[in-house]
Amino acid sequence: MSTPKKLITSSLSSTLIFLAFLIAINFLVSQKAYYLDLTDEKIYTTSEATKDILKNLDKEVNINLYISKDLPVDLLNVKTQVVDFMNQYEDIAGGKLKVTYFEPENEKEKITELAKKGIPQIQFNVMEKDSFEVKQGFFGMEIVSGEGENEKRESIPLISSIDTLEYDFISAVYSVSKEQKETVAFLQGHNEKRLQVSSLEKSYEIVNVEIESEGEKKGFFIQGSGGKTENEDGEEVEKEKEFITPTTLVIAGPTAMLTEAEIAIIDECIRNGGNAVVLSEAVNPNLQGNLEAQPVENNLNELTKKYGIEINSDLVYDKSNSNITYQQGFFSVSKPYPFWVKAIKENFSDHPSLSNIQSIMFPWISSLTISENENYIASPFISTTKEGDFVSGSFNLLPDNLFYFADKAQRTLAAISKPKDENSGSGLLFVIGDSDFISSNFTRQAPDNETFFLNLVDSISNSANLASIRSKNIVDRPIKDIDESEKNYWKFIAIFATAVLIDIYGVVRIMKRKKKSRKN
């Protein structure tokens, strides 16, 4: 038998070994942050796209983090996460990313200096000793590359959460590290919509362009260049127009005709490797009147038909739709409106711009027809459900209209056309039968609309990686529509399972009572 002394010695040895093991584990874990990301889309996990961009930086990038000492409690956790992610990004970049931390004081000179860098002083509401205090400080980031005339800078003025940090950070790093930005041009001169695209300015050269279709020099020139100016002698002279070759051309809802020469120039741009995005419907409601349908006066079909896509003179409605809110007397009424089609993930093609997008809302959208083409392959990009339909000729767009849904063929809402010969050097054409979906009125109601459009521009402008990072933050998760047979199946299961569980509970109770009575 073991003596008490031996037992105590053995127990003490085991305890010391266990403590040494815990200390070793604690040391190893403290050297690196570990996260368990339970979100479906892995929002808090560094994406493969981020790793790809960081591993292939064109040049060294310096990150300056300005974080005040006295942060509110709710930002301390954000600070820890930011530092952890910066450590990960440094490791991934392999020496091309250098992070420096600063704790700036609230001095006048420092406030002015950081404000010039795009890092403003901010106010924090802090709860201390049962009273509110207003403190001032900094929690921002500066991203810098190059020196002197070649220096490029971007800033993130305030880091309030990590939800969008990965995209904001990587897009800024991508911007300053690239030797030359791609050009995204928005066509003007035909009453096109002017889109708000400030979030693209970090990654691209964003310009509004018009088409010069006459004279010796033809093509796209930056709107506002040209015109008249004065020379050194005070004489009025013609200013030369600044012509560009866009990487991606966006044509958003023109309501005036393009000339044959202008269409030929756009066609030549695509065939020479440029990409084009056409956002245009053939019919639109008169929002100032009684929602009367009006034909859209443009001839974009003369361009899109060359690539096997035609915009039809109709309006699509679908069982999958969004609510419309309108005033009826003294009351505000909200009800499903089938002409505001809600395209859902099951009816999307496999394309980077649609990565992780759950739904897109298209108000008053025209359908597209796909046709055979000698040099291009056109295919549906986004479609309705099988219970979609369209109206043409006679339109009743009022919300109190009665709609009938049936199992019909899906309607194409967006299409893509690619060259049959991948070595032809030709670009891509995307056509969507609506231009209103990207206006601010609808992006507020359906934020994924804007995400989709930005992703589309990214994916065809050599920045598909940015599209996949942006899409990690899911906004909408629509309820999946199921048919009646499936609903009845689950109803039966629920009723049957409930009855079975009650019976099992009753049997168990009876058996326990019998067992208890036998003991007594």
In a domain, 198, yes or no: yes
Q: Are 377 and 309 in contact (CB under 8 A)?
A: no
Residue 454 lies in a domain: yes
Residue 486 lies in a domain: no
Question: Does 137 lie in the same domain as 165?
Answer: yes
Q: Please indicate, yes or no, whether residues 252 and 385 belong to a single structural domain of this protein.
A: yes
Residue 338 covered by a domain: yes
Q: Is residue 312 situated within a structural domain?
A: yes
Q: CA–CA distance from 423 to each of 155, 243, 271, 309, 345 (Å)?
A: 40, 27, 12, 22, 31
* Closest by CA position to 145, among listed 164, 183, 172, 109: 172
Kindly state whether residues 154 and 219 are assigned to the same domain: no
Residues 433 and 365 sit within 8 Å (Cβ to Cβ) = yes
3-state helix, strand, coil in the chain (%, to 5): 35, 30, 40
Q: Is residue 4 situated within a structural domain?
A: no
Residue 65 belongs to domain spanning:
48-173
Q: Is the per-residue pLDDT at 519 higher than 60?
A: yes
Higher pLDDT, 8 or 191: 191
pTM of the entire predicted model: 0.76
Residues 168 and 197 in one domain: no
Tell me, what's the pLDDT at 378? 96
**CATH (domain of 146):** 3.40.30.10
In this structure, the answer to whether residues 372 and 282 fall within a common structural domain is: yes
Confidence of residue 240 (pLDDT cuts 50, 70, 90): confident
CA–CA gap between residue 63 and residue 142 (Å, rounded):
6
In a domain, 513, yes or no: no
Provide the pairing of β-strand 152-156 with 97-102.
unpaired
User: Are residues 373 and 449 located together in one domain of the fold?
Assistant: yes
Identify the CATH number of the domain in which residue 460 sits.
Answer: 3.40.50
- Does residue 461 belong to any structural domain of this protein? yes
Q: Are 347 and 409 in contact (CB under 8 A)?
A: no
39 pLDDT band, cuts 50/70/90, is low
pLDDT tens per residue across span 170-185: 888 988 888 788 899 9
* Opening angle at CA 334, ends 330 and 337, nearest 5: 130
DSSP per-residue string spanning 374-397 = SSEEEEEEEE--TTEEEE-SS---
Residue 21 DSSP SS3? helix
Do 216 and 307 lie in one domain? The reply is yes
Long-range interactions of 80-87: CB distance < 8 A, separation 24+: 81/162, 82/159, 82/162, 82/165, 84/33, 85/46, 85/162, 85/165, 85/166, 87/32, 87/33
Same domain flag for 154 and 265: no
User: Are residues 144 and 194 both part of a single domain?
Assistant: no
147 and 187 in a common domain? no
CA distances from 473 to 199, 455, 490 (A): 15, 13, 31
pLDDT tens sequence across 455-514? 899 888 876 677 777 766 555 555 666 666 676 777 777 787 888 888 788 888 888 887
What would the 3-class secondary structure string for 38-79 be? Answer: CCCCCCCCCCHHHHHHHHCCCCCEEEEEEECCCCCHHHHHHH
Name the pLDDT band for 31 (thresholds 50, 70, 90).
low
**Are 221 and 145 members of one domain?**
no
The arithmetic mean of pLDDT across residues 11-31, rounded, is 74
pLDDT the model gives residue 285: 86
Q: Are residues 169 and 295 part of one domain?
A: no
Number of domains in the chain: 2
pLDDT in tens, 269-320: 999 999 999 999 999 887 776 778 888 989 999 999 999 999 999 999 999 9
The neighbouring-strand residues paired with 212 are 219
Domain boundary among 470, 486, 510: 470
- Predicted local distance difference test score (pLDDT) of residue 365: 95
The pLDDT score that the predictor gives to residue 520 is 62
Tokens matching residue 103: 């704790």
Strands 131-137 and 139-145: unpaired
